[in-house]
Amino acid sequence: MSIKVKIVSPEKVLFAHDADMAVMPGAEGDIAAMPEHAPLMLTLRGGVVDIYEGDAVAHRFFVAGGFADIAPSHCTILADRATKLEDLSVDDAEARLAGLEKSYEEADKMNVPALDILMDKMQSARAEIEAAQSAIPGMSL
Amino acid sequence: MASLKDLRARIGSVKSTRKITSAMKMVAAAKLRRAETRAAAARPYADAMRRMLAEVARSVAGEGGQPALLTGTGQDKVHLLVPMSSDRGLAGAFNSNINRTTRNLVLKLQAEGKTVKILPVGRKTYDFLSRDFSDLIIGHRHLAAGKEIPFSAAAELGEQISSLLEKGEFDVCTLVYNRFRNVMTQTPTEMQLIPLALPENDNADSAQVAAYEFEPDEGALLSSLLPRNLQVQIYATMLETAAGENGARMTAMDNATRNAGKAIDRLTLKYNRTRQTNITNELIEIISGAQAV
């Protein structure tokens, strides 16, 4: 029993394969998609998607926010941006975070929706740094 | 009558024109293939997005207080037109079709007493529209000339349109672009972005599966899906424009190459006839000279 897991970014399909379980970072907490999961749609925060085959993690992707569509037989992750964990760069993410923090400092503190968007982006950049560090060789998959 | 030297020069120049047009045709063909691959790669995301949006919208249907991106402002006074052309010319009627359609649309809307604003995308349509309607243009963007279009270009345009809507700058937003039917045909098409024409729910097994649950609730999910959907739609039309531009250029350059070939044939025929006449004339002169002696 397996589910079809698909990770798509606006530009292309990154991953499409059968798997036993996919753990994704939901906006309100991590969620695992398994066969026969009740239909669910959710928003994602920045974080790592772990795709399990058997009991082991077979693939890991970093997604910078997005949406997921979970159904009994398939799980589609619509990522704003998705990268294989081993292709992430700590330096890039840190530079981006520094830029975001600067614009957060300068942002109009009364404009709550704009601040929320910045906060989300900063969270995603922090998660990216963490994910990139965890992918540095020496760690097992 | 043109001298032999003039004719030779003309044949030479048409031949080099033919070389250029046939090279452009081949470049356009290669770019078209790449653009089509990219358009195909972007389709799964757009499809999944449409399915999700249809599912969410179905479950909130009939509730009040829906986001303006979906329902518009409820008015129909100020129209924002977003014509999308290529950055470069020499693509047959590709860009002038967009320009003509946009112009007619502007005049029609103005005749109905509506206010029109224009946000042109692509250098060719901006150049054209800024001659006639420079006071209506509220900004413009270029596509990445010749380079591959990144999603961020569509994301920025989408954000700009969303923020204009938030500020109440317009009520209805329409995109004018060339729909890619095949390599030969691109049809100028108007697509209404805001208020959004909701897609049909084509989730094949939606009838059998239980109703979806949403996290966070439908409203919040919908208001984060809609801006993204706008960007995805813009991105799709940008890719279609890139493919269409190269298709149109390929067709135009194919015609130009063929016409140049015909012109060369005609000129060569004329050249040979002139040469023959000249020789005949010289012979007549020599013979009549010899007879006179």
For chain B, which residues make up each domain, given as ranges? Answer: 4-23+253-283, 27-252
What pLDDT score does B58 carry? 78
Q: Is B290 on the interface with A (CB under 8 A)?
A: no
The span from the CA of B177 to the CA of B238, in Å, is 9
Residue type, A40: L
Q: Is the pTM of this model over 0.95?
A: no
Chain B CB contacts of A6 below 8 Å = 44, 48
Phi and psi at residue B144, in whole multiples of 5°? -70, 105
Pair of tokens at residue B192: 């209404």
What ipTM was predicted for this assembly?
Answer: 0.81
Q: Give chain B's residues under pLDDT 70.
A: 1, 62-65, 144-146, 198-210
The residues spanned by each domain of chain A are 3-85, 87-134
Query: Alpha-carbon distance B6 to B286, whole Å?
Result: 26
The residue among B106, B103, B99 whose CA lies nearest residue B84 is: B99
User: What is the tens place of the pLDDT at every residue in B24-59?
Assistant: 999 999 999 999 998 888 888 988 888 888 888 877
| Cβ–Cβ below 8 Å for B45 and A41 | no
CB pairs under 8 A between A and B: 78
Q: Does A108 touch chain B (CB under 8 A)?
A: no
Q: Does A69 touch chain B (CB under 8 A)?
A: yes
SS3 B138: coil
Q: In degrees rounded to 5, what are phi and psi of residue B101?
A: -60, -45
Q: State residue B247's pLDDT score.
A: 93
The candidate with the shortest Cα–Cα distance to B230, out of B80, B75, B37, B53, is B53
A35 touching B, CB under 8 A?
no
Rounded to an integer, the average pLDDT of A51-60 is 88
User: Residue A138: pLDDT above 70?
Assistant: no
Q: To the nearest whole angstrom, how far is the Cα of B223 from the nearest Cα of chain A?
A: 11
Please state which of the four CATH numbers 3.30.1360.30, 2.60.40.3710, 1.10.150.20, 1.10.287.80 is assigned to the domain occupying B4-23+253-283: 1.10.287.80
Residues near A28 by Cβ (< 8 Å), separated by ≥ 6? A42, B215, B216
Token pair recorded at residue A86: 């081993």
Q: Is B45 on the interface with A (CB under 8 A)?
A: yes
Residue B241 contacts residue B177 (beta carbons within 8 Å): yes
Query: How many angstroms separate the first and last alpha carbons of chain A?
Result: 23
CB contact under 8 A, A9 and B45: yes
Residues of B whose CB is below 8 A from A38: 210, 213
Q: Which of A12-16, A128-132, B151-155 has the lowest mean pLDDT?
A: A128-132
Mean pLDDT, chain B, whole residue set: 88
Which residue in B has a C-alpha nearest to residue A15's C-alpha?
B44
Is B85 within 8 Å of B92 (Cβ atoms)? Answer: no
**Contact with chain B for residue A10, Cβ under 8 A:** yes
A6 touches chain B (CB under 8 A): yes
Least CB-CB distance to A38: which of B42, B213, B228? B213
State how far the Cα of B121 lies from the Cα of B191, in Å rounded to an integer.
Answer: 15
CATH class held by domain B27-252: alpha beta
Partner residue facing B221 (CB), from A12, A43, A80: A43
CATH number of A3-85: 2.60.15.10
Q: State residue B101's pLDDT score.
A: 94
Size of chain B, expressed as the number of residues it contains: 293
Q: Which of A10, A42, A80 sits opposite B215 (nearest CB)?
A: A42
